């Protein structure tokens, strides 16, 4: 059984795939369930008409659950980013429906004059190494606050800035310079009974990478962490369920004996 707990639809500003496209592809790939987790980036709440998009996401997901229910479990989720940028509107979004899963993430960090998504920060040669590490330290503070205070089920793509710092700009920053900060974050995830997402969106070919990587997953397991979800973070259909078989082998090697999906905000374990 395979459950993809992080998928975006046309109701995210950066995806064009409809629920029919998502569901038909998932069925063809032998996936048992998908969770639709459209973006709610609070820094861009008004700019991207977040309220209308999330209402549409809920409606589309509910219709798909009825249409495909005998072939595919379709769960209603949300990826809520920068919760504390506007706690009132964040809370209003969470009251729109009975979600199956609430993903928490950080896409934007206030840093040295940048008030924007880190995907648009130019981490090229003009950024000194110490500035990159200062940014990562600030990002981890945002993550720490998120897992400490807010109403979430799953901590999504924990090391996402590395997709741009290392992936796009080739800077080779080592996130384990912040082992103490990461350990604190993981302890809070465990204490609050959240799940840690293994995000497979970077698993392209043999040289792909996980978010977070095996070192952090091993640390999480050593601390007693058990709850893991798998998320392709797919914005296009070919990425749905991306590299799940490879990831399961990695998780087994680390010492996990299963992973979770969420229904009505309760984690359900799938044993390997």
150-175 tens-digit pLDDT: 999 999 999 999 999 999 999 999 99
The pTM score is 0.97
Check residue 200 and give its pLDDT. Answer: 97
Q: How many domains does the chain have?
A: 1
Predicted confidence at residue 113, as pLDDT, reads 83
pLDDT of residue 206: 60
Q: What is the mean pLDDT of residues 225-247?
A: 97
For residues 228 and 270, give the distance between their C-alpha atoms in angstroms, rounded to a whole number.
Answer: 10
Over residues 83-96, mean pLDDT: 96
What confidence score (pLDDT) does residue 205 get?
64
Q: How far apart are CA 122 and CA 17, in angstroms?
A: 28
Residue with tokens 């044993």: 271
pLDDT at 237: 97
Residue 16, pLDDT above cutoff 80: yes
In this predicted structure, what is the pLDDT of residue 207? Answer: 65
Q: Quick one: which of 38, 29, 35, 75 has its CA closest to 242? A: 29
Domain CATH code at residue 164? 3.20.20.140
- For 34-54, what is the mean pLDDT? 97
pLDDT tens figures, 121-136: 999 999 999 999 999 9
pLDDT digits (tens, 9 = 90+) for 51-64: 999 999 999 999 99
pLDDT band for position 78 (cuts 50, 70, 90): very high
Asked whether residue 37 carries a pLDDT value surpassing 90, the answer given is yes
CA atoms within 13 A on the CB side of 135: 31
Mean of pLDDT values over 192-204: 95
Show the domain range for 205.
3-271
Calpha distance 120→128 (Å, rounded): 17
pLDDT at 1: 87
The answer to whether the beta carbons of residues 203 and 243 sit under 8 Å apart is yes
Output b/e per residue, 112-132; b: 16+ Cβ within 10 A: eeeeebbeebebeeebeeeeb
**62-73, pLDDT tens digit by residue?**
999 999 999 999
Contact 199, 165 (CB under 8 A): no
Q: What is the pLDDT, as a whole number, of residue 115?
A: 83
Average pLDDT, the chain: 96
Residues 136-146 have a mean pLDDT of 97
């Amino acid at each position: 059984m395979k459950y993809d707990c992080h998928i975006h639809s046309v109701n995210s500003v950066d995806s064009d795939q409809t629920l029919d496209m998502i569901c038909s592809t998932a069925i063809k790939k032998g996936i048992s369930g998908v969770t639709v987790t459209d973006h709610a980036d609070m820094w861009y709440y008004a700019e991207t008409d977040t309220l209308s998009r999330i209402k549409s996401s809920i409606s589309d997901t509910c219709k798909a659950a009825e249409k495909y229910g005998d072939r595919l479990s379709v769960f209603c989720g949300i990826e809520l980013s920068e919760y504390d940028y506007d706690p009132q509107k964040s809370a209003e979004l969470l009251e729109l429906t009975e979600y199956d899963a609430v993903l928490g993430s950080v896409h934007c960090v206030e840093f040295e004059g940048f008030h924007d998504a880190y995907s648009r920060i130019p981490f090229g040669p003009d950024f000194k190494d110490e500035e990159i590490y200062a940014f990562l330290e600030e990002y981890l503070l945002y993550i720490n606050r998120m897992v400490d205070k807010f109403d979430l089920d799953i901590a999504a793509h924990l090391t996402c800035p590395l997709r741009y710092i290392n992936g796009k700009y080739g800077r080779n920053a080592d996130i384990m310079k912040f082992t103490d900060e990461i350990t604190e974050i993981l302890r809070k995830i465990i204490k609050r009974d959240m799940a840690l997402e293994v995000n497979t969106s970077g698993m392209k070919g043999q040289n792909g990478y996980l978010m977070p990587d095996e070192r952090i997953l091993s640390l999480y397991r050593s601390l007693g962490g058990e709850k893991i979800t798998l998320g392709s973070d797919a914005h296009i259909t070919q990425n749905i369920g991306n590299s799940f078989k490879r990831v399961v082998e990695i998780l087994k090697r680390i010492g996990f004996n299963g992973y979770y999906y969420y229904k009505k905000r309760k984690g359900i374990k799938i044993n390997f």
